[in-house]
Amino acid sequence: MIFNPEYECMDPEARKKLQLAALKNLVEMLYERTPFYREKFDGQGIKPRDIHNLGDIEKLPFTTKDDLRENYPRGLLACPQDRIVEVHMSSGTTGKPVVDEYTRHDINIWREAMARTLAGGGCTGDDIVQNCFGYGLFTGGPGVHYGAMTIGAEVLPMSSGNTARQLMVMQDFGATMLTCTPSYALYMAEEAAEAGVDPRKLSINKGCFGAEPWSENMRKEIEARYGMKAYDIYGLTEIIGPGVSFECEAQNGLHINEDLFYPEIINPETGRSLPDGEKGELVFTTLTKEGTPILRYRTRDITFLIREPCSCGRTTVRMHRLFGRTDDMLIIRGVNVFPSQIEHALIEIEGTEPQYLIVVDRGESRLDEVELQVEVKKEFFSDETKDLEGLRKRIESVMKSKLQIGLKVKLVEPKSIERSIGKAKRVIDKRKI
């Protein structure tokens, strides 16, 4: 089902006109209302009137995660604060979260974007959506919730975790669509099998999955285990949350809601735009947002754009499923974690050296598991196992509160973590995705 054929199947030339008008509007708004952008524009000698066509976007400055961090919490607000009705956040590089503030209009954009997204995965008003994305500051739960309600489907706002209860509700309420991270979908299938429930006998017949990297192999496995169709959905807090792009029944690239979010692909080293079909860093400009609109945001995600028509009838540009990132951000159980956050936390814990190694694996359970190896200071490395155990527990609890994920800490002897001459290797990722 196509939720909004008027916009999703629009003549691309007509769409370009809309995009240009929206871009001009945005640039004027940012220049007038956000000192951060005005300074950047002035620094580069650009005025809003310099934007004549879509290609002129290349004259405009990029926005980075550091810019967002430095302007935490409300420095990038582009409207009076009393117009904000909701706030979401995700983790940032040094623990400062990335913030998205939504006006009522922005929530409506999100509703629309997510309705298109879920409809791409086959959701209709008759569906019962078991939504196991986290609710709270994370955008996953609320985003799917808004979209499903806009379509008129029934939502089971489960959030993540408590798998036994998930399965009970799924069975008792006859959920027909599943939304969660792909790894959690596999985990639930295994838990179901363990509890003697064949996931293929459940009424789930389709699902939308995202918020972390996954592969064609994982898709095939999820589809086989549940006997359903599994669709990739993409988004990020900085832009709106989920709803930026989504797969349709063709499962051949993710349709970008490009009347709302304007995509570019750049060479991450030079910042220069790359032609369609060439792999590079994905950059987004929010065309119609009011609360925290963003110009040329460097997502650090790597993909390429596909302009050829899709068999589903949508005319929007597609992006290939992600190939990875240009930075070292890890996604652990759907939570974004930067090794530098761990480093900053360790510096504050007495008895440890800022020498560490993060080992990520997907255990038997299919969920991400992290072992953090931390070097203990020489003077702290006593024979008193009690002291060391206390230190280990302290690190675990600091990490839990700073990163919002549980990890296992293993204390290791001083000087035992291999030193490297160049860029330190802090992460060993053994997950086979």
259 interacts with ligand DLL by CB under 6 A: no
CA distance 419 to 414: 12
Nearer to ligand DLL, 78 or 118 (CB): 118
145 token code pair: 């919730």
Q: What DSSP assignment string belongs to 73-93? A: TTTT--S-GGGEEEEEEE--T
Nearer to ligand DLL, 225 or 300 (CB): 300
The contact pattern for ligand DLL, residues 193-212, with x = CB under 6 A and - = no contact, is -----------------xxx
Nearer to ligand DLL, 51 or 218 (CB): 218
Nearer to ligand DLL, 46 or 302 (CB): 302
237 interacts with ligand DLL by CB under 6 A: yes
Nearer to ligand DLL, 24 or 69 (CB): 69
1 token code pair: 């089902």
Residue least distant from ligand DLL (Cβ)? 210
Residue whose entry in the numeric block shows the structure tokens 């956000």: 34
Nearer to ligand DLL, 248 or 322 (CB): 322
139 interacts with ligand DLL by CB under 6 A: yes
The count of residues interacting with ligand DLL (CB under 6 A) is 22
120 interacts with ligand DLL by CB under 6 A: no
Min dist CB 39 to ligand DLL, Å, is: 26
133 interacts with ligand DLL by CB under 6 A: yes
Indicate the angle between helix axes 35-43 and 12-33, nearest 10 degrees.
100
CB–CB of 83/290 below 8 Å? yes
322 interacts with ligand DLL by CB under 6 A: yes
Phi/psi for 246 (5° steps) reads -160, 155
**342: nearest Cα among 413, 402, 418:** 402
The contact pattern for ligand DLL, residues 7-26, with x = CB under 6 A and - = no contact, is --------------------
Phi/psi for 168 (5° steps) reads -60, -50
Question: Pick from 234, 261, 284, 297: which binds ligand DLL (CB under 6 A)?
Answer: 234
178 interacts with ligand DLL by CB under 6 A: no
Question: Which residues on neighbouring strands pair with residue 95, listed in sequence order?
Answer: none
State the Rg of the chain over Cα: 23
Phi/psi for 80 (5° steps) reads -60, 140
How far, in Å, are 143, 395, 404 from residue 388 at the CA level? 43, 11, 23
The contact pattern for ligand DLL, residues 54-93, with x = CB under 6 A and - = no contact, is ------------------------------------x---
Q: CA angle 185-134-153, nearest 5°?
A: 75
How many of the other CB atoms lie within 10 Å of CB of 197?
16
**Half-sphere exposure for 316 (CA within 13 Å, toward CB):** 32
Phi/psi for 184 (5° steps) reads -70, -35
Question: Pick from 233, 337, 358, 417: which binds ligand DLL (CB under 6 A)?
Answer: 233
Question: Pick from 207, 241, 280, 339: which binds ligand DLL (CB under 6 A)?
Answer: 241
The contact pattern for ligand DLL, residues 325-354, with x = CB under 6 A and - = no contact, is x-----x----x------------------
301 interacts with ligand DLL by CB under 6 A: yes
